Amino acid sequence: MAVLDATIVNVALPKIMATFGVSVDKIEWVVTAYLLVFAVMLPTSGWLADRFGYKRIYFSALLLFTFGSFLCGLAWDEDALIVARIVQGTGAGLLMPVGMAIITRAFPVRQRGLALGFWAISAAASVSLGPLVGGYLVDNLNWNAIFDVNVPVGLFGMLATLVIQREYKHPVQRGFDFIGFISMAISLSSLLIALADGNAAWNTGGWTSPLILTCFAISAISLAIFLYTEFTVEHPLIELALMKDFNFAVTNAILFVFGLGMFGSTFLMPLFLQNSLGYTALQSGAVFLPVGIAQTIFSPLAGIMADKFSPKIPAGIGIALLTYSLYLNSQMSLYIEHGAIIYSLIIRGIAMGLLFTPLSTLALADIPKPKMAQASGLFNVIRQIGGSFGVAIMGSLLTRRVLHHMTMYGQAVDTQSPTYQFTNYKLLAFAKMSVGGNIGESMMRAKAMIIGHLSAQAFVDAINDDFLLSAAITVTGLIPIFFLRARHAKAGKGEPKPVSME
């Protein structure tokens, strides 16, 4: 459910925009607020799990997430929905890393890759089935139903948690870093507000407006306070010393790039399918079905490859395929065929299946068990921060590029040219025959159709620009993979020994 609600809402965004009468620069916060709070809460999961017990926090996270879903279903405007998404993201931010820590604590290193592969199947299932089910609910009920469906599932999950899980508490208790938590939350929130609203329609001052510059300044000051606190406080919120582990630091950098490209592109695709190609929400959700199927198949295979050979191999192939998929999406048009879209998303599903499990194995291989909750929390927070940045950047860039292309097309149109006059005449005749009315009304309709076509083409070109930027950013994640130190898992006692991959 936690992964599902980071993506399922995308298929409902056009319907939510129509219901509340808002634009992309406002509705993107329905996604960004969830990812942001998700990211802010992730680092606290380790302390809470160690302090109160893994089972108790997992149950509490499910309860909070389910209650947030209930509030989302009751939302009466976009602001209420954003607030409810914050509540929902708080629960999800605790749910994911604690679940991952439970898995990694239960399995030895040589089996951890395969275990995480099967754990990732749940995420793959949500990627494939979630948008499909969400699209059906949006088309046949309403957009609220995509949140209401979480409530019975959450209640069942809480019951299962009470019956199945065993409690574990860390024997050593440590204090909570309130200053680090607050400064990190302020820094991330301010930065995302600046990135998301730099090109917003209401922000007439653009990137140099007082609000945007103030947000950047607050973010920088809060970041400085956070870094100072984490290096000086006795019990930091995030143990930056974990970054001394080379593999852990490098894989987190790769994961940030992965989150930026993956979440940003997932935000864009339903907007293109529904607004440009006229897909229904169900049809838009069905497009993502191959993604989850491919990821489900390749996640366990990647885990086996990571355990038997080098995890760098599937991880590198995954980055390359993800880049290729995003590049394919940067070539879309108003006349693109359905098969071409499906092909690009199948490639993306294979990439995600090959990438995430080996990265998890490489990142956590040398982390001691007492630090596992902290490490897994930080590992997930980097991905979510990348995702929230991806949505904010792509949403802001989309608004900017639509205006750019619309301006360019407007300047290129010569109303005195024979081509324009001929096209306008044909559209005028079509409007008069289809709708009726006098010459003046038909002429206005003809011009409106031309402007509408230019707007549609400008939107598609802006979407393509976003995907091309995502591909350019994602490919940079391929370079650090070559510098990772991989392990071969060997049967027998003891931990596997490092193997040089130079």
- What is 4-176+237-405+456-481's CATH number? 1.20.1250.20
Q: Which of 389, 324, 390, 391 is nearest to 355 (CA)?
A: 324
Calculate mean pLDDT across residues 197-203: 63
How many angstroms from the chain centroid is the CA of residue 36?
Answer: 10
Calpha distance 354→351 (Å, rounded): 5
| pLDDT at residue 384 greater than cutoff 60 | yes
In sequence order, what E strands does 113-209 have?
Answer: none
Query: What HEC string does 165-179 produce?
Result: CCCCCCCCCCCCCHH
| pLDDT at residue 405 greater than cutoff 90 | no
Question: What pLDDT sits at residue 161?
Answer: 86
Calculate mean pLDDT across residues 356-361: 79
User: Helix (H, G, I), strand (E, B), or coil: what is residue 366?
Assistant: coil
Residue that is written with structure tokens 């599903």 in the block: 349
The b-or-e profile of 213-230 (16+ CB within 10 A means b, else e) is: eebbebbeebbebbeebb
Question: What pLDDT sits at residue 395?
Answer: 78
Per DSSP, the residues of 11-78 read HHHHHHHHHHT--HHHHHHHHHHHHHHHHHHHHHHHHHHHHH-HHHHHHHHHHHHHHHHHHHHH--SH
| pLDDT at residue 489 greater than cutoff 90 | no
Calpha distance 411→404 (Å, rounded): 11
Q: What's the pLDDT band for 127 if we cut at 50, 70, 90?
A: low
Question: What pLDDT sits at residue 327?
Answer: 92
The CA-based angle 443-445-448, given to 5 degrees, is 110
17 contacts 27 by C-beta, under 8 angstroms: yes
Residue that is written with structure tokens 């160690």 in the block: 50
Question: What pLDDT sits at residue 123?
Answer: 66
462 contacts 469 by C-beta, under 8 angstroms: no
456 contacts 276 by C-beta, under 8 angstroms: yes
35 contacts 387 by C-beta, under 8 angstroms: yes
Query: In this structure, what are the phi and psi dihedrals at residue 45, rounded to the nearest 5 degrees?
Result: -60, -40
Calpha distance 371→261 (Å, rounded): 29
| pLDDT at residue 349 greater than cutoff 90 | no
| pLDDT at residue 66 greater than cutoff 90 | yes
Question: What pLDDT sits at residue 492?
Answer: 40
157 or 397: which leads in pLDDT: 157
Calculate mean pLDDT across residues 356-367: 77
pLDDT tens, 302-346?
A: 877 777 777 788 888 888 999 999 999 998 888 888 889 999 989
Q: Mean pLDDT check: name the lowest of 140-149, 310-319, 361-370, 472-481.
A: 361-370
| pLDDT at residue 196 greater than cutoff 80 | no
In the chain, what percentage of residues exceed pLDDT 70?
Answer: 85
Calpha distance 250→255 (Å, rounded): 9
| pLDDT at residue 435 greater than cutoff 80 | no
Calpha distance 332→166 (Å, rounded): 50
Mean residue pLDDT of the chain comes to 79
Q: What's the pLDDT band for 45 if we cut at 50, 70, 90?
A: confident
Calculate mean pLDDT across residues 351-377: 76
* Integer CA distances (angstroms), 176 to 40, 44, 85, 234, 244, in order: 14, 9, 25, 10, 22
Q: Which of 233, 218, 229, 267 is nearest to 389 (CA)?
A: 267
307's CB contacts (< 8 A; 6+ apart) are 110, 111, 113, 114, 361, 489
For the chain, helix, strand, coil in percent to 5 are 80, 0, 20
Question: What pLDDT sits at residue 109?
Answer: 77
Q: What's the pLDDT band for 496 if we cut at 50, 70, 90?
A: very low
Q: What is the number of other CB atoms lying within 10 angstroms of the CB of residue 137?
A: 23
| pLDDT at residue 296 greater than cutoff 60 | yes
Question: What pLDDT sits at residue 71?
Answer: 92
Which helix (H) or strand (E) covers residue 399, if one does? helix 372-412
Calculate mean pLDDT across residues 438-460: 75
426 contacts 292 by C-beta, under 8 angstroms: no
Q: Mean pLDDT check: name the lowest of 244-248, 291-295, 378-382.
A: 378-382
| pTM given for the model | 0.75
| pLDDT at residue 72 greater than cutoff 80 | yes
| pLDDT at residue 494 greater than cutoff 50 | no
Q: What is the number of other CB atoms lying within 10 angstroms of the CB of residue 182?
A: 16
Q: What's the pLDDT band for 202 if we cut at 50, 70, 90?
A: low
